[in-house]
Each structure stands twice: as structure tokens, then as C-alpha cells.
Amino acid sequence: MQYGMVIDIDRCVGCHACVIACKAEWEVPAQYSRDWVHRLGPAITSTGMAYTYYPGLCNHCDSPPCVPACPAEKVNATFKDKKSGKTVTMEIAATWKDPFNGTVQVDRERCIGCGACRDACPYKARYVDEGLKDENSLGKVDKCTYCMPRVAEGLEPACVQTCLARARIFGDLDDPKSEVAQYVKKGAVGLTSKAVQIGPNGRYYGSKKGDMELLMQAAPQEMPKVSLRRSLLTQMSLTAKHQIKEIGLLGLAGALLVKSFQEEEEK
Amino acid sequence: MAVHSLPPDQDDASVTEAATLSSLYSFLALTMRYPDPAFCNEPFFDTFESLLASLDWPSELAELQTWRRQTPDRLDDLRTAYTHLFITAAPGGTIPPYASVHLDGDGTMYGRTTERTRDFYRACGFDLLSETEPADHLQFELEFLAALAGEAKFDDEERFLQILFRPWFAQFQKKSMQEARHPFYKVSIQLIDFFTKEEQ
Amino acid sequence: MAMNLTRRTFLKAASIAAASVPLANVRAKAESGLVKAPLVAPGSFKNTQTVVGGVCEMCFWRCQLVGKIRDGRLLKLEGNPKSIDNGVSICARGNAGVKLLYDPDRLKYPLKNVGKRGAPKWQRISWEEALDTCASKLKAVIDQYGIKGISMFPHGSTSTYPMDFFEKTVGTPNISEASFAQCRGARDTGYLATIDYPPSEEYADMPNSKVILLIGSHFGENIHVSHTKQYLKGLENGAKLIVVDPRYSASAAKSHIWVQIRPGTDTAWLLAIMNYLIQNKKYNIEFVKEHGEGLGKMAEGIKQWTLEKAAQECDVPAAQIKEVADLLAANMPHVAIHTGRHSSWYGNDFQRARSMACLTGLLGAFGVKGGFVPPANPGGLGDYSWPKSGHHDKTLQELAGLYHFAPPGTPPDLLRETAITGKPYPIKGCIIWGQNPIQTIPNQEKTIKTLEQMDFVMCVDVMPTDITMFADILLPDCSYLERYDLIRTGTQWNLAEEHRQFIAPRMPLVAPGFERKDSVYITNELAKRMGYGDKIPIQTQEEGINKMLAGVQLSIEKIKAEDGIHIQPGKDPYGDMELTIEFYNEELEEHGYPGIPTYIPVEHPPEGYYRLLYGRSSVHTFNRTQNNAWLMAENNINPVWLNDKQAAKLGLKEGDTVALINQDNVKSRTTTTVKVTPGIRQDCVYIYHGFGSRNPELTVGHDRGIDDQSLITKLAVDPESGSYGMRNNFVKLVKVG
């Protein structure tokens, strides 16, 4: 099973209800977003004038670069398939791809807020809420979960429920009978480019060539370079902080580490 | 407030201390309440002055005394100052005295912090009398601290200060010190800071 | 500060006689354990209560809502699953109602202005003091200047009860509603003068249309849930969409034919289409024979409007006008000519509306599938009303002998003129209830002068706005989530489906916060103090709703038991509407107006200037949502759309910061950015309306983007309806920084 979302841009009217419903549902602070609507155009395309929307969210990719980027300490976790009752136990960091439903999830308790996963995502689907920083983290990362807690209760994702245009369709891409699979058959595509081919499970459908052209131009054109050193430093600084705290030298050592970290950023 | 009995193992000194602290918090809560003739009167200002005197804050005391001397209608003056600082003002300059506005990321009221604050009150056996104002108003938080101190629940007091009070009060105070030109509110906020900050 | 004393040592000393004061608002309750707050919000469905009966007011469409509430805190709004109108969907603004409810800048307590009008210094006062002051000041105005000395600017459902009081029982003729002269006045009067039937934007049966014609309407920028559902259903069902707009709007982007018309020339375009249809006998001859009057006169009068002449005037190809006309003819009568709503554009708008009504008649598109179809809404609701006093003065409009086709009421400029000059009589008291005249009436300086000369100004509103800065007393109203007021009625959104009707009164989802009061309370308290206590028709808002519901054997209790919406079998909305289409209207001619639809040309922009057009952002309702943290996170500026060729000529790039200066040398107080696009004509620029609030009490919305209204200083008054053309102002772009 692979959950996915189709966005029918023929239907989308650009009302942004999806974004606000998500903010309300998950109490996302105003300045952050788990999903977005960008307006594209009006611009001239190969078929004339076009003006459309890019309603985006985490693509819960087949090969999510955010998952290996996470430097948080790994733990064993057991996943259970709701249908078959089968279980799988695997090692995960603070972000992982669910082996049964294909969604990419985050454990905010263990997230250290380093931002490595955020930086690794070519779609910019993640943010770090720095307001949630604590002694174990620089903040907490967040992103679209495909509303798994709602789905578990038999509800639609918040953005899908509120969409007046029925432009958002959620379901199992692996089930050929599902509406999302039908859309894929009809030509719904992920926002990929030459350099970005990570199997996005958000798919876009539009019957107008000009609209699709604008949308594909909005697709990321390169994979972000992930600073391994950065996540390493964050991880080190946190561990170090703990150790140092115990021997009472927190202020000095912490400051030094933070400084070197900033220098890295400037480069 | 009802008189609370204290656990038997506490000595007289800490009993007195708890009562004093509770009275102090109650007093500070009043300073953050919209001025009303029911409390905002000459004995109230006298108490304020004697508090500053006993703390040995001479410059603050002098400021307050000057204001009292120079302001014929003190209640009216405080009401305008309170409205400006805590309710609404043009141009700008209002510092909403609600925790969630400062903590919940987007200047919100009735945010998650408001819910947490109310949960904390309830967990300690308290709740708001009226549903019409959010639980995380500075006045209510100080009243809550007064109630905890009155029951000598010092652990809860410290935990509340640490988890919910200080994180926002620090921001509130910083912004207030830029905006609060009125001696009464400036000194009141300094007093709240003094009595709630982490012991070194 | 002597900091040698710590809290601990101080407490140990315990040397003060601190005031021992009882705690006012805290009391003991049952003990329970403490839990750590989770890092992830639990979701709106966890441990929440679903409260029914909400009716949205983020715009006027009034979608039906439920609230998800945990511990008295409203977490989320959703469409009421029982709704046969919006269903579970609501738009961005509807979703963001939570942020209006809990906006820290919202009005919380009655305030008295101890500073100046326009530069207020507020002091919180008690309701008692506020009401006493308002009543005595208004009475003083009446005593000195008579009842005519009172004026009112009402808006929205919260103002209908007080407006009734001031208009009928107090008896002032000086009432100026924003929704007429600055919104739908020209449309309403134009249709009434043609078909003697009031139009509505709700009367386009788009799901069942074969052609949808939008003149200036832009679905996608203008969002009403069931309305937009109808539009999308029409497109899904294969309707051809024609969009007439100088700009490549959200609707133009979904259109089959985009008519990139020269602003102000729509009537010429419509006349050419009608002329073509008549000349070529492509109109609905049978329908016109039965329902039309004066076709011959109109045909004769408009025959000058050849395709070529209109092409020249409207700056669109003649072939395209013909294509549109043929498409309409081929699909008649199943054509939805959308009436639009805000129609006060160019000062020639009555004629445009009348032409649209005539074209609808030519196509026989009244009462038929896909045409102009009023839904069969439920009737029978009860009523209550303030009693009429014996007192009745003529309105300023009547005194001036102007705007014969406008309904009673006073166009705001007549009111301002009278107040400023004192002629024919002084106006010295002003009640502003839910309206923001600074952002709605052209020429802001004149509005400010009007207010400055008043003896007393009171405002009732939910939020601080640009107008509330001018209040002497400012009262906090309940928001739509905290009160009862209107009753929303309607039918299933797709008229072709099983006929059903619904009745949904607005009921509060949460109790009013702080010291906010509803308009029934405020009005009644004023009435008592002004000596009208014996005239009060209802004591509470609930009583009013129950009186209305009693007419259909319902009550608040019953509605609550029915999950907030009563649904009953409906009626077939289709069929002969028994209209007469007056292609020629004798009465118009008698009053000195053209008897047939007539094109009145508008001024072209002077060299170096662009016509300023304005419209809607999909996440805002004019100025009302400008302090909403969620909506402003989506859209907090109104970039000026500038044609790419013009941008190149001016040396402006996408994202450049500019100020705007109009033909009267009025410069925008603030700046905005440039959006360079081929999607707008070269002779105009476009911005979203409602930005650039001047009130600094709005911490999110203050000075964001440009206030288009501040640049609309020239009034083009529509002669028949008295509504205000607001798109006849011209601007230059000045690069900043």
C-alpha cells in the first residue's frame, strides 16, 4: 500500500482553504505551513496564456532523501499492517518511511531540530518550529503526515475534507481501483525534473498543457546538497551540551560549538 | 480565599513565608487588574509604597510618589495607562498580557498555551470563575501563584513558574520595558519579575 | 534599584504588611494528575465536542458550520455535514474564523476616546457609562438639531436591528448602507428597471448551463463555497465559459473565450451582441414575443452597434464578438449570464446591468435550466420589527430629486456634503455599526471632514478598523461565532437535484468573550435610555430568532436537535417566471434617462497614467480579514499587476517596490510590489482591494500593501442609481528605493 494524493488543477480555484484547514487541525503557527498554494502566472506558455496553482505538500516519496538525512539516535520500532496484521521491526531515526502505508513520518519527541531533513527535501515540505526548542533540541521539525491520525479515525485528511472543488483526492496508489490510481492512469504525474527523481506520491492532473507546463516549471530542478557536517555538528553540540552541563561548563563550550556551527552556515 | 492548613512538618517560619508570598502574589495580581475603585485607592498606593520601601528600592519609590503627587485623578490616569499598555492603543504599543500571545508562535490568543495553563490550574485544584477571559492572563497567573503559595505548594509553584510563567513573562517584560512609560506599570512589572525570577 | 535583597531574604524577613486580598477569579476544584503537553497537537477530533448551528460571516455567503471545541476553546471550524449548501467544505476565510474570534487586537471592552478623533487615546469604561454617554449625546443632538441631525452607517446582519430602530422608531432619514451605492446598487436597479424582478448573484443556474458568461466576475478570486461549486459543476458538465475581463483572472484562466475588453466599454460590447442577434434573427423569437416589450425601439436604437464599431470601442476583435454571440445563440436558452454583485465600476453601470438583463431576455434565459433561475427558498418565517414613529422626513436623495431608480436610503456623498456644508440641515450625530466608511467610500478626506464636524460619533464593531479611530465611544460587538442573528435559508446547491430546502439560524458556537455584547442588547439599552423603552420589539436575540422560527413551526431547541439545520422537501424552481422584459422603458425616458440600453463612454487614462482596477483576493473579504494571522500568512500584500510591455517601458521588474499617485496627485500612504505579467491590458493596472489599513491597532494588518480606496478620489456617479463608479481613477507608478 502506498498512500498518495492527487491534485486536479483543472478543478482547483486557488482558494487556499486546504492550507488554513491544516493550520487549524494541527495548530501550525501562522508563519509555518505543512502545505501551500502558489500562484503560477499569468504567463505565456507554448499554448498561450496560462494561470494556475501549485498546491503543494509532502510527497511521501518512494526514496525520501529526508529519511537518511536524520542524524537522531536510532531506535527499534515495530510497524503493524492494519489489514493483514503483519508486523515489521526496523531501526528508525526521528523520521522514517512507514513500511506498510508508505507515508513518511516524524517523531517530534526524538527530533533534535537540526534541520537536516528540511534541507534535504527538494520540495521544501518541512519546517523547523524553533519555538519548540528545548534542552534536547534546537526546535522540532514538522510536515504533512497525510493526516494519518485522522485517517485512523476514518476521517479524510483535513485539506481534502475542506476542499470545495474536490480538487484533492486521497487514497492508495497501489490499489488500481482507487480514484487516485485512476487519475494516474489518466495522466496524473509527480513534480519531477531531470535532477529530481525521488518518486513523489503527490500527483498532479491538468488537462491544459499550458497549466501543466507552468506546474512542471515549479518542480524543483536540483537536489539540495545536504550538509552532513551540519547535522553532525548539531548532534555533537547537543550531546556535548548534556555532558558539559553535568560538569558545569555549559555556557562556554556551548557558545564555542554554536559559533563554529554558524561559521559553517556562512560558508 | 479560604485559610489553608499546612502540613505539620513545616515550621512557623515557612508558614509565615508562604502567607507573605501568597499576599504578595495577590497584591501583584491586583496591579495587573483593570483599575477599579474597589481596590485601586489610597490604601492600595500606600501599600505599594511601603512594599517598595521595605524592599529598599528608593528610586522606584520616589517615582511612584512623584506620580501620586502630580496626578490628581489617579484612577483615571491608571485606567488610560492600562488600556494603552494592555488592551488597545494607537499608535501600537500594546503588549497583550496573555501567555499564548508570546509563546504560541503567531501572536495568538486561546492558543495551546492557554489550554495548558488551564490544565495546570485544574491539575492543582483550581479553575477560572468566569469563562469569558483566557486563563493565561497575567493577573490570573499571579492569582494562581498566590493560591499555590497560600497552600504552601512550593513545588507546584516552582514548576508553574518554570514551565509556563517565566518563558512568556521574560518576553512580556522585555517588550513592556520598552513601552511602559507609566511609573506604576513599569515598577509593577519589575516587582513581578523580582518575585518570580529563578533563584540564583 | 537596590538588588542586594533577594526574594528569599525578603520573604524570610517577611517585614511588610502586604495587602491581604481575596482572590477574585480563582476557586478550588477537584484534584487531578498533571500530564506533559504533547509536542504534536492532538487534532481537532480528539476529545472535542462538535457544536452545531454556526453560520459563517467571513463573507456574506453564510456557509453552515460546526465548531470543534475542547475545553471551551474553539479549535477548528468545518462545514456542517448536514449542509445541502456548502457541505463539509468551507473556504480559507471560513477556516480562519478561529483567528478572528481569538485575535488579540479584537475589541474586548467598551472604550472611551480621551484623545482626538482620528488620533484616539482609549480608556476602558463600563457598559453602563458607555451606554449612558451614547444615549445622552445622541439625545442632545436630537434636542438641538432634530432627528435629522442623526446619521447612520450600518453594515451586515449585526446592524439590521439597530438600523431598524434608528430608521423607523427614532425616524432619521440619514442612513447610508455600503452595500448599495458602493456595491450592488447599479445592478439591482438596472435589472429592476428591465424585468421588475430583483436580481441576485445566486440566480445563475450554472451547473446546468451550456454557456456561462461572466462579465468582470472572477470565481477563484471571489470565493463563495456553493457558488463556486455550481460554477465548477457547470464546467465539469461541459459548459462553455466566456469571461469578459481586462485581466487574465482566475476565471479567464478556465475560460474557453477570454474577452480582454477595454475597461468601461462592456455595455458597447453587449449592445453589439444584441444587435447582431436581432439583425440575424438569432434571438429567442418566441420568448421575446411572449415576454418582451419595446424590442423594436431597442433594435432601432442599437443598430449603430455593429460588430466593427464595438470592436473598435472595446478593443477586441469583431470576429470574437461574433463568436460569442453565435455561441450564446446556439445554446440558448440554457445560458447563465451571471449578474455579478459589486457593480459600481464606471458610473455607467445601470446601463450595463440593464443590457445584461435585456440580453438574458433576448436569449429567453429566464426560469429555464442553466439560465437565470431564482431558487425556491423556504418561506413563512415570522417577523418582528421596531414600530414606525409618526415622524418622517424626506431623504436627502428625495430632497435633491436625484437617482429616481434608487430605493430609499442615502448615498454617502449626499450625506457627507450635507454634514460638511450644514445644508439643507446640520448632521451632528453619527452611528457607525459594522461599516468601515474609510475603506468603502471614495474620497477619504471628505469622510474624515464629515466625522470631524460631528458633535458625537459612536462605533460598534468586532475589530478596530480605520473608521473606529474616529469614534468617541467604541463598543465591542459579538462576532458571528458568539451570537444569534440571521436565519440562512436556501435550497440544495444544484437546482437540478432532488428539491430540498433548508433553514439554518445563526447560533453561537462559543459564549461571547470578554465584555462583548450583541446588537439586540446594545440597541435595547440605548432605546431605554433615549426614551423608547416601551417600543422594544424583542428582549433578546434568542427571542427574535424564535419569533421568526415560530412562523415555520420551528424553534432554537428544535433546530439544535436537528444538528443546526432544518431540511424539508423543496419545490421545482424552473418554469415561466411571468416576467415582462422591457427592452424599452418609458418610465426611464420620463425621468430624462435613455429609454433603451445605452452606452455611455468613459474617460480614457491621460498619458502616462493607468486606470486603477481593483478586485478580490481569494483569502480576503475586503478589509475585514486584514488582521487575520492565518490569512495574512497566505497573502499580506496586494502587488500591482502591470503589463509586461509597460513594465519594460517603465524599467520596472517583478518584485520592485512602488507607490501609486493618482490623477489628483494623491499618493498612496504605503507601498507595494510590482507583479509583471502579460495577463493584463496595457492601459490599466490592478490591485486587491482592502489592503493598507491605517489603524495601527491592527498589529498584523497595519500598512500592509496599498489602500486602493485612498486613490479613488474622483467619483463617477451613476445617474439612474446614484451608485459610485470607482474605476475611473488613474494612477502612475513611482519606484521606491
Q: Which chains touch C (3 or more CB pairs under 8 A)?
A: A, B
Task: Indicate the average pLDDT of chain C.
Answer: 94
Cβ of C232 within 8 Å of Cβ of A11? The answer is yes
How many angstroms separate the CA atoms of C639 and C652, rounded?
Answer: 13
Report the DSSP pairing between strands C566-569 and C724-725: unpaired
Contact B112 A29 (CB under 8 A): no
Q: Which amino acid makes up residue C29?
A: K
Chain C residues inside the 8 Å CB shell of A138: none
Tell me the DSSP string of C519-559: HHHHHHHHHHHHT-GGG---SSHHHHHHHHHHTTT--HHHH
Query: Domain spans of chain A?
Result: 3-218, 228-266
**DSSP β-bridge partners for residue A172:** A3
Position A237 scores a pLDDT of: 60
Kindly tell me the sign of the dihedral angle through the C-alpha atoms of C357, C361, C363, C369: positive
Instruction: Report H helices in chain A.
Output: 17-26, 66-69, 116-120, 148-152, 158-162, 179-186, 209-218, 228-247, 250-266
Residues C47, C458: Cα–Cα separation, whole Å: 42
Map grid coordinates 471614495 to a residue: C442
Which residues in chain A are contacts of B108 at CB distance < 8 A?
Answer: 29-30
- Is the per-residue pLDDT at B43 higher than 80? yes
- Is the confidence at residue C1, as pLDDT, over 60? no
Say if residues A94 and A112 touch (Cβ distance below 8 Å). Answer: yes
Q: Residue B109: closest CA among chain C residues belongs to which residue?
A: C102
**Is A94 in contact with A106 (CB distance < 8 Å)?**
yes
Question: Measured between CA atoms, how close is B99 to chain A, in angstroms?
Answer: 14
pLDDT recorded at residue A259: 33
Distance to chain A for B26, nearest Cα, Å: 31
Residue B82 backbone phi and psi in degrees, to 5? -65, -45
Asked whether residue C14 carries a pLDDT value surpassing 50, the answer given is no
Please report, to the nearest 10 degrees, the dihedral formed by the alpha carbons of residues C568, C572, C578, C580 taken in order: 90
pLDDT in the model for residue B131:
81
Cβ of C532: how many Cβ atoms within 10 Å? 19
Domains of chain C: 49-101 (2.20.25.90), 111-181+380-569 (3.40.50.740), 201-362 (3.40.228.10), 610-735 (2.40.40.20)
Dihedral, C464, C467, C471, C474 alpha carbons, nearest 10: -30
C500: which residues sit within 8 A by CB, 6+ positions away?
Answer: C84, C491, C492, C567, C568, C569, C570
Encode pLDDT of B101-117 as tens digits: 999 888 889 999 999 99
Chains that touch B (3 or more CB pairs under 8 A): A, C
What is the overall mean pLDDT for chain A?
88
Taking residues A26-36, report their average pLDDT. 95
Cα separation values, C46 from A103, A155, C41, C50, Å: 22, 12, 10, 11
Report domain extents, chain B: 12-196
pLDDT band at B12 (very low <50, low <70, confident <90, very high): low
Q: Do C16 and B125 touch (CB under 8 A)?
A: no
Checking if the pLDDT of C12 tops 70, the result is no
Give the integer Cα–Cα distance in Å for B147 and B137.
Answer: 15
B16 touching C (Cβ < 8 Å): yes
pLDDT for residue C632 is more than 70: yes
pLDDT tens digit sequence for A7-16:
999 999 999 9
In chain C, which among 106-165 make CB contacts under 8 A with chain B? Answer: 107-109, 111, 114, 119-124
What CATH number labels B12-196?
Answer: 1.10.3480.10
Residue C311 Cα to chain centre, angstroms: 33
**Span of C24-33, C57-66, C611-620, C676-685 with lowest mean pLDDT:** C24-33
Q: Determine contact, residues C241/C235, Cβ cutoff 8 Å.
A: yes
**Tens of pLDDT, residues B120-172:** 999 898 988 888 899 999 999 999 999 999 888 999 999 999 999 999 999 99
pLDDT at C19 over 90: no
CB contact under 8 A, C18 and B94: no
Q: Give the pLDDT of residue A240.
A: 54
Q: Do B84 and C71 touch (CB under 8 A)?
A: no
pLDDT at residue number C688: 98
Cβ neighbours around B181 below 10 Å, total: 12
* ipTM surpassing 0.90: yes
For residue A228, what pLDDT is reported?
A: 62
Question: How does strand C240-244 pair with strand C211-215?
Answer: parallel
Peptide bond into C81 cis (omega under 30): no
Greatest mean pLDDT range, A108-117, B8-17, C573-582: C573-582
Please report, rounded to a whole number, the percentage of residues in chain A having pLDDT higher than 90: 78
Task: Chain C: give the shortest CA distance to residue A81, in Å.
Answer: 23
CATH architecture of A3-218: 2-Layer Sandwich (3.30)
pLDDT in tens, C645-673: 999 999 999 999 999 999 999 999 999 99
